Amino acid sequence: MTEPVIRTKGLTRSFSMGQTIVRALRGIDLTIERGEYVAIMGPSGSGKSTLMNLIGCLDTPTEGEYELNGTSVAKLPEHELARIRNKDIGFVFQSFNLLARATALRNVELPLIYGGIKPRDRKERAAVALREVDLEDRMDHRPNQLSGGQMQRVSIARALVTRPALLLADEPTGNLDSTTSKEIMALFQRLSEAGNTIIVVTHEREIADHAQRIVTIRDGVVASDGPNTVATTETSAT
């Protein structure tokens, strides 16, 4: 029960660019417990995006171990990774990545479709997820009828709808103004308090400060890792 959600050991990822080999990650050891709210920080080129792709099972490591929810996923084939992305991981993207032609409800249903859930259950669960992000009155709206904050909340609902072990957000406020950003961060706070495990990847200190723990990546290794001292005061202030 006390098994961590994420445990990596010596996680390495290299890319070959013609003759040269670029080592984006050079051995990351990281353990994230259930219910933690973690920010991964680092300047661009630090390898944080590569780390996020590995954690999100969109990519496989060149070397090293990665256990998600107690399952080793480093060497799994494509269709197994797809299944894990579907069941265990909820993605929130900087640019929302909603399907333009589909309503909010249909967008939230999407992971359930690939999870093989029956249409009736799908609708119900998607509606519940939208209610959790306070969008029950926007279910039939298409993305172009929604504000940026609303779109991001739809995408959070989509990430939550499968009840994943891990919510993985990549610069979730990057395309939002500061007021809306605060709303979204408050929402993350609420989800964290409700027991969700959350990882936010960002290069903004202000955003990272909402988390309980901050991991800094620099040049493909963990530069610092520790509890965030300002977290509670910052969130209570907003």
Q: Which of 113, 186, 194, 223 binds another protein (CB under 8 A)?
A: 113
C-beta of residue 67 within 8 angstroms of C-beta of residue 11: no
Q: Which stretch binds another protein (CB under 8 A): 53-61, 64-72, 198-206, 221-229?
A: 53-61
In the complex, the smallest distance separating the C-beta of residue 231 from another protein, rounded to whole angstroms, is: 28
Centroid of chain to Cα 97: 13
For residue 169, the surrounding DSSP H or E stretch is strand 166-170
- Helix, strand, or coil here: 228? coil
Q: Which stretch binds another protein (CB under 8 A): 19-27, 111-119, 206-214, 221-229?
A: 111-119
Site string for another protein, 65-104 (x = CB under 8 A): -------------xx--xx-xxx---x-x---xxx-x---
In the complex, the smallest distance separating the C-beta of residue 235 from another protein, rounded to whole angstroms, is: 28
User: What residue has token string 């013609």?
Assistant: 18
Site string for another protein, 13-52 (x = CB under 8 A): ----------------------------------------
**115 counts as binding another protein under rule CB under 8 A:** yes
d(CA 122, CA 1) in angstroms, rounded, equals 28
**9 counts as binding another protein under rule CB under 8 A:** no
In the complex, the smallest distance separating the C-beta of residue 236 from another protein, rounded to whole angstroms, is: 33
State the amino acid at position 81 in one-letter form.
L
How many residues of this chain bind another protein (CB under 8 A)?
25
In the complex, the smallest distance separating the C-beta of residue 114 from another protein, rounded to whole angstroms, is: 4
Q: Which two tokens stand for residue 128?
A: 């519940």
Of 141 and 234, nearer to another protein (C-beta) is 141
CA nearest to 39, candidates 153, 181, 165, 185: 185
Number of H helices, E strands in the chain: 8, 10
Burial class from Cβ neighbours inside 10 Å (0-12, 13-18, 19+) for residue 102 reads middle
Q: Is the dihedral of CA 231, 90, 33, 193 positive or negative?
A: positive
**188 counts as binding another protein under rule CB under 8 A:** no
Q: Which residues bind another protein (CB under 8 A)?
A: 53, 56, 58-59, 78-79, 82-83, 85-87, 91, 93, 97-99, 101, 110-111, 113-116, 158, 162
